[in-house]
Structure 1
Amino acid sequence: MTEKCPIQINMNKFKINNTDLEVSRINFGGNVFGWTLNEKQSFAIADQFTEAGFNFFDTADTYPWWVNGTGGLSESILGKWMKERKNRDKIVLATKVGSETQEHGFDISRKHILQSVDESLQRLQTDYIDLYYTHFDDKVTPVEETLETYQEIIKAGKVRYIAASNISPERLQQSFEAADKNGLPKYVALQPHYNLIDREQYETQYAPLAELYNLAVFPYWSLASGFLTGKYRSEADLSKSQRGGGVKHYLNENGLAILDALDKVAGKHNSSPATVALAWLLAQPHIGAPIVSATNNKQLEDLIAAPQLHLDQEDLDVLKINL
């Protein structure tokens, strides 16, 4: 069993359990690099994020595969930015492995991890990754093989710590059991799909494991693909961005009630729905740093304001929508 120690949190940063990584309480999602932001725009938004005192970036070897079919652009842009800014030592860098191969579909075999980590390091123009995620579980590779490979690349200095994203609760538990039994590295963080409107799977299946294994939690889709910003309130709004089609299923009684609640709390605090939605996440147990992206100054301001917004019990009760 992993040794228990509470997450050490201040208003802006916290230390990930069982590591020496101190990260900002907002984790910038690099999926926009090379997609909705070109290289110049990506550099500008990354500069603004770090100048505001934040240091935590999340990307993946496959981002943005939906643009070029292969991915890699996000890592390449982030790597070039760090090299030009000479700030690698000030950045906590997370990326992922588990893209699809002919052998496995999603692949976390030894062969694929060893190849992928070197390719990521080359694109990122660095010799180490702070936090390396199992992005997708192939459900085929023995968990021991994956963890033994992680141990190999940790010993080689290529990776500092490992984390898990889209892994079933059963395979996650098996990974910890195998690590305990064989003296292998353990996941220190979990990256689940979790936000104010998408709660059930995380809260029923993964939150107990985060508690059991003392995991820091970095939710993705923290603003439900932008729905929780309040930008989309009718079907006519769906054309406002490239992500609009992905939020149509939220336009129902429950979704609109949540937007009304966000509006109420945001009005009380002279804030925005996005800031309130992220502050709600930050008020939940084990949540360390929601992963979220911005493509302009106003969006970024809303994101980085969240750690400073304290929601009282009245606010949390207003946001507790159960329709």
Structure 2
Amino acid sequence: MKYVKLQNTGLEVSKICVGCMNLGAKDKYPWHLDKQEGIEYIKHALDSGINFFDTANVYSQGESEEILGEAIKQYGNRDELVIATKVFYPVDNSLNGRGLSRKHIFQAVEDSLRRLQLDYIDLYIIHRFDYNTPLEETMAALNDLVRMGKVRYIGASAMYAWQFQKAQYIAMKNGWGKFVSMQNHYNLLYREDERELIPLCKDMNIPLTPYSPLAGGRLTRDWNGDTLRDKYDQTVKEKYDMSKTIDYPIVKRVGEIAESKQISRAQVAMSWLLQKDNVVPIVGGTKVKHLDEAISALDVTLSDEEIEYLEELYQPHNIVGAL
């Protein structure tokens, strides 16, 4: 395993982050992992040297956090691990149980700590931008969590560049903790953040922890596959199938390079991300082999010509994520 500094911090993280969205709620999402399967998956990640794990309170309505917490309790060395979770979406139907109000943030962090069986969260991320709560209230609440010791660092996810800039400015103006990471939607088939958000993060030295690095599996095969996720996951279909006409030629080029290098398409797509500056991709697989493929991509190097070949057919897409 390779490790990097999470820029603007002293935090050492594995170059691969394990995403835990697919843990729990197997009755509702048949491609997910149940408790025992999830614990075994996390154990394999730990045994592989991964120390960075990402979840959210809304994943499987809290069950993902519970499974990750149990796996850490059984097999993890807490002092070596970097655990991230997120807040915004509702876990229940309570009146104040969503968004980024001070009330919801304070309640959500206590609930996440209980489910994770932890005393603190390393990286607490706002899952989306809240248009209905003053940004000053949100940033003040997050800063107070850091001062209280419940959270070590704060991060952001899926927003427009102006929103991220405004949040950082408010924190700086008030002497509050600033965001240290951006978890955005970024892969070979979706590169809209290269216009504004990524250049802003680069200027601020903010690392990216992009989700969906393999475009929901679209980058790993000709397009659709015979898997449970392909059959049932409507979200992935909505994200990617609408733009199949312009994206499929890119997928074909991934296949060409994979064949020429005698490696998998997943390794090619992951390597493209891993060679970007200041990027730690989030891998959300459901099989050990998915994780092993992502790790093996650390040893793959694409030439400048191969990168250009993969990138040159990209066309503008509708915004997905910063909504």
**Shorter-chain TM-score category?**
0.7 to 0.9
In the alignment, residue 130 of structure 2 is paired with which amino acid?
Answer: D
Q: Is 1:55 aligned to residue 46 of structure 2? A: no
Q: Show the counterpart of 1:75.
A: 65
In the alignment, residue 19 of structure 1 is paired with which amino acid?
Answer: T
The Cα offsets for residues 237-266 of structure 1, whole Å up to 9 and x where unpaired, read as 897553377336167333221121111111
The one of 278, 283, 290 aligned to 2:281: 290
The one of 269, 272, 278 aligned to 2:270: 278
Q: Contact 2:17–2:282 (CA<8 Å) still a contact in 1?
A: yes
Q: Show the counterpart of 1:246.
A: 236
Deviation larger for 182-191 or 311-320: 311-320
Q: Show the counterpart of 1:307.
A: 298
Q: Contact 2:212–2:284 (CA<8 Å) still a contact in 1?
A: no
The 1:98–1:244 alpha-carbon spacing in structure 2 relative to 1, beyond 3 Å, is closer
Distance across 1 between alignment mates of 2:260 and 2:234: 28
Q: Contact 1:239–1:245 (CA<8 Å) still a contact in 2?
A: no
Q: Secondary structure at the match of 1:198?
A: coil
The one of 142, 149, 156 aligned to 1:157: 149
Q: Contact 2:66–2:116 (CA<8 Å) still a contact in 1?
A: yes
Q: Contact 1:237–1:244 (CA<8 Å) still a contact in 2?
A: no
Deviation at 1:292, TM superposition (A): 1.6
Distance across 1 between alignment mates of 2:234 and 2:217: 8
Q: Secondary structure at the match of 1:305?
A: helix
The 1:126–1:238 alpha-carbon spacing in structure 2 relative to 1, beyond 3 Å, is closer
Q: Which runs of 4+ in 1 moved over 6 A?
A: 236-239
Q: Show the counterpart of 1:68.
A: none
In the alignment, residue 319 of structure 1 is paired with which amino acid?
Answer: L
In the alignment, residue 167 of structure 1 is paired with which amino acid?
Answer: M
Distance across 2 between alignment mates of 1:122 and 1:104: 19
Q: Contact 1:104–1:138 (CA<8 Å) still a contact in 2?
A: no
Distance across 2 between alignment mates of 1:174 and 1:244: 33
The one of 13, 23, 28 aligned to 2:3: 13
Q: Show the counterpart of 2:38.
A: 42
Q: Show the counterpart of 1:177.
A: 169
Distance across 2 between alignment mates of 1:17 and 1:169: 19
What's the TM-score once normalised by structure 2's chain length? 0.87
Q: Contact 1:104–1:140 (CA<8 Å) still a contact in 2?
A: no
Structure 1 spans left out of the alignment, 5+ residues: 1-10, 65-70
State percent identity of aligned pairs: 38
Q: Show the counterpart of 1:30.
A: 20
Q: Show the counterpart of 1:6.
A: none
Deviation at 1:274, TM superposition (A): 0.9
Aligned residues: CA RMSD: 2.2
Deviation at 1:167, TM superposition (A): 2.7
Structure 2 spans left out of the alignment, 5+ residues: 26-31, 316-323
Q: Show the counterpart of 1:193.
A: 185
What's the TM-score once normalised by structure 1's chain length? 0.87
Deviation at 1:194, TM superposition (A): 0.8
Question: Number of residue pairs matched?
Answer: 304
